Chains A and B, each alone.
Chain A
Amino acid sequence: MLLVTCPICGAEGDETDFHFGGQAHIARPATTNPEGITDAQQREYLFTRINPKGLHFERARCDRGCGKWFHIARDTMTMEIKAYYGVTELPPPDIIAQAKGGWAELFAERTAHAKKTK
Chain B
Amino acid sequence: MLKPRYSIFSLARNAMNYHKDWERAWRSPNPKAEYDAVIVGAGGHGLATAYYLAKNHGMRNIAVVEKGWLGGGNTGRNTTIIRSNYLQDPSIAIYELARSLYEGLSQELNYNMMFSPRGVLMLCQTQHELRAFQRTAHANRLAGLDCRMVTPAEVKQIVPIINDDPNCRYPILGAYYQPRGGTGRHDAVAWGYARGADDMGVDIIQNCEVTGIQREGGKVVGLETTRGVIKTKKVGVVTAGNVSTVMDMAGIRMPIESLCLQALVSEPIKPVIDCVVMANTVHGYMSQSDKGELVIGGGTDPYNNYSQRGSFPALEHTINALIETFPIISRLRMLRQWGGIVDMTGDRSPIIGKTPVDGLFVNCGWGTGGFKAIPGSGWVFADTIANDRPHKIAEAFTMDRFTEGRFIDESVAAAVAH
Contacts and interface: CB of A to CB of B under 8 A. Distances in A.
Given A76-B306, A76-B307, 7 more contacts: A47-B345, A47-B346, A48-B253, A49-B257, A53-B258, A58-B303, A76-B258
A43 interface: yes
B411 interface: no
**Residue among B258, B306, B313, B404 with the highest chain A CB neighbour number at 10 A:** B306
A36 to B, nearest CB: 16
A43 B242 contact: no
**Residue among A42, A58, A76, A78 with the highest chain B CB neighbour number at 10 A:** A76
B303 to A, nearest CB: 4
A1 B245 CA distance: 24
A67 interface: no
- The 9 closest A-B CB pairs, nearest first, are A47-B255, A51-B244, A1-B311, A47-B346, A20-B302, A20-B303, A43-B403, A53-B306, A43-B402
A77 B258 CA distance: 11
Interface of A: 1-2, 14-16, 19-20, 22-23, 39-40, 42-44, 46-53, 56, 58, 74, 76-79, 101-102
Nearest to B405: A39
A2 B307 CA distance: 13
B126 interface: no
A20 B255 CA distance: 18
Contacts of B150: none
Contact of B402 (A22, A46, A56): A46
Contacts, number: 75
B311 to A, nearest CB: 4
B317 to A, nearest CB: 9
B313 A15 contact: yes
Given A16-B313, A43-B255, A53 B346 contact: no
B253 A52 contact: no
Interface of B: 242, 244-245, 248, 253-258, 301-307, 311-313, 345-346, 402-405
A22 B257 contact: yes
A51 B311 contact: no
Contacts of B311: 1-2, 15
A76 B248 contact: no
B257 A101 contact: no
A101 B254 CA distance: 13
Nearest to B248: A101
A30 B311 CA distance: 37
Nearest to A22: B257
Contact of A47 (B245, B307, B402): B402
A46 B304 contact: no
Contacts of B404: 39
A43 B402 CA distance: 6
25 contacts: A14-B313, A15-B311, A16-B313, A20-B302, A23-B257, A39-B403, A43-B403, A46-B346, A48-B255, A49-B244, A49-B253, A49-B254, A49-B256, A50-B253, A51-B257, A52-B244, A52-B245, A58-B303, A58-B304, A76-B258, A76-B304, A76-B306, A76-B307, A77-B307, A78-B307
A53 B402 contact: no
B307 A79 contact: yes
Contact of A102 (B253, B256, B305, B403): B253
Contacts of B313: 1, 14-16
Contacts of B253: 44, 48-50, 102
A40 B402 CA distance: 9
Nearest to A49: B257
A86 B300 CA distance: 27
A19 B417 CA distance: 14
Contacts of A58: 303-304
B303 A77 contact: no
Nearest to A77: B306
A47 B255 CA distance: 5
A49 B255 contact: yes
B233 to A, nearest CB: 26
Nearest to A38: B403
A52 B246 CA distance: 10
A21 to B, nearest CB: 9
